[in-house]
């Protein structure tokens, strides 16, 4: 284990310190760090390499990109020092503003794609969206329940769930999607289906109020999957269940441009980590579908329970 003195020595260099302060907040790629810090790739990559040698950061591969994050356990002894440094370092304020812009760009790419799809979901191809996969998720549900459909889009699945649920709350961050969903719900007479505008990382739902928190092919669009899963934990009642249907990790890089995916799916280990960190227990993770046509997307189903106190 690195000594406190060696850690402090590495973090005494301003660029490395700025990187750590940013990566404490969000997983970021080298390209995103370049944009935030207005620095060349070689300088940032060199600094990240030094941080990795001290076990301060880690990275994970998503297609052609590597996402970097801090290893919190190694930084724990320096948390107070880092908090103070963030107040004294003059570049921090600018870095945080630039970080917000970068994260907004992530959302905007998805928003542009989905804005074109409102009202067309039933006729457009979306990776991993199959009745076979959805059926596996629906079998986990026992009516009558209060269900949060997080990242619902226009809410085709929400309307199916509303046929037997006590209440369904459909969350999406695009007004166009929400408005379209409301019209369809009204047309079909669903009084137990409510559409709300909001982010899946911070859904407009009160704590401890729903029985099921559902992500159906939505988590790979999240700016921060961990925050989305954490938020799901908060809105669930004790004893409530999270259900995630998403793509298994893949290397089809074109999905980012074609379908505005932020993440190229998730492995079983990654989903297990997300759910465990959020506090879920009794985890079950399995692959439930494989598409026959290239690039052969596979759908993974993950469930967990928010235990009663």
Give residue-wise pLDDT tens across range 172-217: 999 999 999 999 888 889 899 999 999 999 999 999 999 999 999 9
- Residues 241, 212 contacting (CB under 8 angstroms): yes
- Share the mean pLDDT of the chain: 87
- Residues 219, 225 contacting (CB under 8 angstroms): yes
pLDDT for res 138:
61
- pLDDT of 129 > 80? The answer is no
Residue partners of 122: CB distance under 8 A and separation at least 6: 156
Per residue in 163-176, pLDDT tens?
A: 888 999 999 999 99
Higher pLDDT, 97 or 118: 97
SS3 category, 240: strand
Please give the share of the chain, as a percent, with pLDDT higher than 70.
89
Q: Band the pLDDT of 263: cuts 50, 70, 90.
A: very high
Measured in whole angstroms, the distance separating CA 114 from the mean position of its chain's CA atoms is: 16
Higher pLDDT, 15 or 122: 15
d(CA 214, CA 158): 10
pLDDT for res 82:
84
Q: Which two tokens stand for residue 75?
A: 């930084």
pLDDT for res 1:
46
Per residue in 25-72, pLDDT tens?
A: 888 999 999 989 988 899 999 999 999 888 889 988 877 788 898 887
- pLDDT of 2 > 70? The answer is no
Residue partners of 6: CB distance under 8 A and separation at least 6: 54
pLDDT for res 233:
98
**57-62 and 281-290 beta bridge pairing:** unpaired
Considering the chain, tell me which residue range(s) the CATH 3.40.50.150 domain(s) occupy. Answer: 121-305
d(CA 125, CA 116): 13
Considering the chain, tell me which residue range(s) the CATH 1.10.10.10 domain(s) occupy. Answer: 4-117
For domain 4-117, the CATH class is mainly alpha
Q: Band the pLDDT of 104: cuts 50, 70, 90.
A: confident
What pTM, to 2 d.p., does this model score? 0.65
Count of all residues that appear for the chain in the document: 309
> Does CATH place domain 121-305 in 3.30.420.40?
no
pLDDT for res 78:
78
Residue partners of 168: CB distance under 8 A and separation at least 6: 146, 147, 148, 149, 158, 161, 162, 190, 192, 193, 194
Residue partners of 305: CB distance under 8 A and separation at least 6: 239, 240, 241, 242, 280, 281, 282
Exposed (0-12), middle (13-18) or buried (19+): which is 122, by Cβ within 10 Å?
Answer: exposed
d(CA 215, CA 128): 13
């Amino acid at each position: 284990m690195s000594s406190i003195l060696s850690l402090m020595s590495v973090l005494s260099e301003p660029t490395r310190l700025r990187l750590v302060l940013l990566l404490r907040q969000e997983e970021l790629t080298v390209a995103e760090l370049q944009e935030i810090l207005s620095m060349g790739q070689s300088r940032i990559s060199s600094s990240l390499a030094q941080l990795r040698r001290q076990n301060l950061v880690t990275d994970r591969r998503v297609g052609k990109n590597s996402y970097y994050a801090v290893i919190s356990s190694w930084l724990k002894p320096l948390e107070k020092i880092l908090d103070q440094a963030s107040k004294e370092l003059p570049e921090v304020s600018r870095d945080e503003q630039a970080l917000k812009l970068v994260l907004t760009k992530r959302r905007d790419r998805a928003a542009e794609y989905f804005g074109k799809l409102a009202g067309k979901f039933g006729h457009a191809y979306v990776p991993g969206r199959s009745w076979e996969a959805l059926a596996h998720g629906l079998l986990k549900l026992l009516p009558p329940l209060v269900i949060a459909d997080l990242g619902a889009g226009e809410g085709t699945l929400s309307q199916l769930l509303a046929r037997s649920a006590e209440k369904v709350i459909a969350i999406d961050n695009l007004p166009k999607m929400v408005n379209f969903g409301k019209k369809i719900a009204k047309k079909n007479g669903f009084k137990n289906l409510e559409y709300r505008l909001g982010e899946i990382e911070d859904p407009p739902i009160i704590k401890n109020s729903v029985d099921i928190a559902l992500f159906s092919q939505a988590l790979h669009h999240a700016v921060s999957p961990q925050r989305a899963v954490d938020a799901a934990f908060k809105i669930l009642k004790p004893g409530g269940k999270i259900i995630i249907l998403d793509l298994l990790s893949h290397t089809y890089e074109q999905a980012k441009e074609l379908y505005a995916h932020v993440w190229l799916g998730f492995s079983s280990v990654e989903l297990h980590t997300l759910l465990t960190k959020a506090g879920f227990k009794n985890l079950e993770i399995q692959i439930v579908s494989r598409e026959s046509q290239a690039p052969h997307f596979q759908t993974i189903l993950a469930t967990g329970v928010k235990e009663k106190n």
